[in-house]
Structure 1
Amino acid sequence: MSVTVKNEDTREKDMMACTDFYNYHCGLITAVHAVQGRRPFSLAGDSADPDQVVVRTTTEEARHIFRARLLNPKWLEGLKRHGYKGAGDISKAMDIIIGWDATADVVDDHMYRRFAKKVPLDPEMASWMKRVNPYALHNIIDKLLEAASRGMWQADEETLDALREAFLDAEGKIEEVTDR
């Protein structure tokens, strides 16, 4: 097998929005890699508009989703209206991001860096997350640090230090909340 393809016929979800893509497509990619010793050429199809089908490599699709949704201020602000659940959705996205990168190697360093700066290292966003769902903030930071420790993200020391400090701060908030 030299190619894997996952097509989606709706714009309601994408490869970073739900675990279906990750379970199915990354499972295929990982199986091929395990058997053949190399990753297959992997594609993501979008046939939501049958007259304008779009096919991208999974790496191109990941970059597109980061720009269009995950780093989009309107998306992040929209999730704030949902409080605890909105923060949880951002955390879930981070789980999916690291899963995709660990199995399919589709997340670039700049994507991790920009996500870190936009979410846990942004004072306003971090403050909101600490208030509504410190567990989600803690998970996001933990996953970013994991990506760096596993060599998936070549982060600079300044960013790592800031994340470690934010991690301890979020952990303190969790202890404060659970000690009540």
Structure 2
Amino acid sequence: EIQKRLNNTLGWSATSGQVDNWVYEDANDVYMKDPEMQKRLMETNPNSFRKMVANFLEANGRGYWETSEENIENLRKLYMEVEDKIEGVENQMRAQKMPSQ
């Protein structure tokens, strides 16, 4: 549901240009900057969480949301972490590090 609302906000930005910067900034503070919320969203629905992160990056890339370069870099890293979790990279790396039996 959260991802759908964020996606609708991005769509509203694209069609009307009437979404204030603070809307994205507040959502980013609540969902992307809070480690506990990140963990909860990642565990509950990583695919939806990945779409949320992508929406923030797209909003910035299209000029709908202005934020710091540091924040954008953190979102890019977060996107890669979610992508790795979905693709099972973390589990594959652990399996490779385990000693042979």
Shift of 1:106: 1.9
Q: Please point out which of 167, 171, 178 is paired with 2:79.
A: 167
The answer to which structure has the higher strand fraction is 1
Q: Please point out which of 42, 48, 53 is paired with 1:136.
A: 48
AA at the equivalent of 1:119:
Y
What is the CA deviation profile of residues 3-50 of structure 1, one whole-angstrom value per residue up to 9, with x for unaligned ones?
A: xxxxxxxxxxxxxxxxxxxxxxxxxxxxxxxxxxxxxxxxxxxxxxxx
1:102 aligns with 2:14: yes
The unaligned stretches of length 5 or more in structure 1 are 1-88
The answer to which structure has the higher helix fraction is 2
Give me the whole-angstrom Cα distance separating, in 2, the residues matched to 1:120 and 1:174: 18
The unaligned stretches of length 5 or more in structure 2 are 93-101
Q: Secondary structure at the match of 1:103?
A: helix
Q: Per chain length, whose mean CA-contact separation is higher, i.e. which structure has more relative contact order (CA < 8 Å, sep 6+)?
A: 2
**Structure 1 segments (4+ residues) deviating >2 Å:** none
CA contact (8 A) 1:121 1:163 kept: no
Give me the whole-angstrom Cα distance separating, in 2, the residues matched to 1:176 and 1:119: 23
| Correspondences of 1:1-180 after superposition (within 5 Å) | 89-176=1-88
Q: Identity of aligned pairs, percent?
A: 33
AA at the equivalent of 1:102:
A
Shift of 1:121: 2.2
Give me the whole-angstrom Cα distance separating, in 2, the residues matched to 1:147 and 1:136: 16
Pairs aligned (count): 91
TM-score (norm 1): 0.48
AA at the equivalent of 1:170:
V
